[in-house]
Amino acid sequence: MDKDETKDFYDAMAEKMAKEWYQNDMLHPSLVEFVGLFQKENPRILDLGCGTGHESLRMVKLGADVLGIDFSEENVKLAKKMCKEGQFKLMDIRSIDSNIGMFDGVLACAALVHINREELPDVLMRISKILNDNGYLGIIIREGIGIDEAWSKVKLDEKEYIRPFYLHEKIMIDSILFRQNVVFKNEGYLAEDFINYGWKFYIYRKQE
Residue 19 lies in a domain: yes
Using one digit for the tens of pLDDT, what is the confidence trace for 150-195?
999 999 998 999 999 999 999 999 999 999 999 999 999 999 999 9
**Cβ pair 122, 179 in contact under 8 A:** no
Residue 197 lies in a domain: yes
Q: Look up the domain containing 184 and give its range.
A: 6-37+45-92+101-206
Alpha carbon distance 205, 40 (integer Å): 15
Helical spans, DSSP H, in the chain: 6-21, 28-35, 54-61, 73-82, 120-129, 149-152, 170-178, 192-196
Tell me the whole-structure pTM to 2 decimals: 0.95
* Domain count along the chain: 1
Alpha-carbon torsion (174, 179, 185, 191), positive or negative: negative
Residue 24 lies in a domain: yes
Give the max Cα distance, the chain: 51
**Cβ pair 165, 67 in contact under 8 A:** no
Residue 124 lies in a domain: yes
Residue 1 lies in a domain: no
Residue 131, domain CATH: 3.40.50.150
Question: Where does the pLDDT of residue 1 fall: very low under 50, low under 70, confident under 90, or very high at 90 and above?
Answer: very low
Residue 114 lies in a domain: yes
